[in-house]
Amino acid sequence: MTNYLLAGGGTAGHVNPLLALADAIKLSSPKDQVYALGTAEGLEKDLVPARGYELLTVPKLPFPRRLNGYAFRFPAKFISAINHAAAIMQQKEIDVVVGFGGYASAPAYLAAKKLGIPVVVHEANALPGWANKLGAKFAAAVGVAFAATPLSGAVHVGMPLRKEIQDLTLDSSSKGAQAKTARKHFGLDENTVTLLVTGGSLGAKRINETIESARKVLSAAGIQVLHIVGGKSDLPELKTKDYVRINYCDRMDLAISAASFAVSRAGASTVSEFAAVGLPAVYIPYAVGNGEQKLNVATLVKAGGGAVVADSEFTPEYVAEVLIPLISNSKELQQMSIAAKSSGISDGTSRLLRLVQGVL
């Protein structure tokens, strides 16, 4: 029996691949034990227990960005977190640590190194975060979702996909029937071209405002819309014959299946999932931060499986002059779908599992 500790959390981009690997481990070897290490504040506090796994926690310690009181207190707090993670590993007799980035990963990596436990790092973004850059320096193996990710010795395994998304990629022969069923689930017409719009779990103000302003022109073009506005949006939920607006979607597999095309941020999980199922999209990278979202989608766009537009340029005029003609061109949509799927990886979960098992 092998005891696994999967470390990561904070955002869905860290938690979903963690859970995908956890499920694959249990399916492969039901007697093996899988534990998750996260914080008490991230999405993992709800998602991990809901999936049936025990969540162990360490304090949430953001890396200090400026010299202040917190920066002086950080070293002692960080050492305490490492020791706490090490105690957990000893108590649970952990055989291997797999980290996905986020606040819990750095203490886990250093605790594992201290105890001589092999570490495997999975980096979801094309631009790695500091925790994974740290762990990769001494990891037994490193897997990346995007081939161009600058981590030395990394293996391109792709993104571990949620089972419901992977099932879509395995059953692509019935894509038309799946789309009809999915559209019916959301109260949309089964046979109408459907645009999926999403800015992630919290939403994206620019995307939401532009789509709201362009509703009439989209409707006039015969395009129905499934619009997921996110938890921070002030827009109320709404349902008309060709426009459905919801705050949150707990069945993204159905949302993706329903879509002919998508407008989205370029988070690593979203890009990987869309590519794996061959869903063409216009990506609008998050304008704040270190620019990893633009890098996440670079290979896919180069392959012809999507397009990218700056946040400031995604306007109602762009929808009318660029987006609608693109969605209305069925031949171009088909070509983009094929290109997206050709650059995607549908078996990232099993690839990562093999990488992990290879260090045991």
Angle between helices 163-170 and 12-28 (to 10 degrees): 70
The reported pLDDT for the residue numbered 1 is: 93
| Amino acid, res. 228 | I
pLDDT the model gives residue 101: 93
303 near 275, Cβ under 8 Å?
A: no
Each residue's pLDDT tens digit, 262-315: 999 999 999 999 999 999 999 999 877 778 899 999 999 999 999 999 999 999
Summarised one tens digit per residue, pLDDT across range 310-360 is: 999 999 999 999 999 999 999 999 999 999 999 999 999 999 999 999 999
Q: Which option is the CATH number for 3-159+347-357: 3.30.750.24, 3.10.20.30, 3.40.50.2000, 3.20.20.450?
A: 3.40.50.2000
pLDDT at 36: 98
At residue 168, the pLDDT reads 83
In the beta sheet, which residues pair with residue 34? 4
Fold for domain 163-343?
Answer: Rossmann fold (3.40.50)
- Residue 322, pLDDT score: 97
Q: Is 12 helix (H, G, I), strand (E, B) or coil?
A: helix
For residue 169, the tally of other CB atoms under 10 A from its CB is: 18
Q: What is the pLDDT of residue 232?
A: 76
State residue 330's pLDDT score: 92
Where the chain has pLDDT below 70, the residues are 169-174, 201-203
User: What are the structural domain ranges in the chain?
Assistant: 3-159+347-357, 163-343
pLDDT of residue 202: 60
In this prediction, residue 283 carries a pLDDT of 97
| Entry pTM | 0.91
Shared fold status for 3-159+347-357 and 163-343 = yes
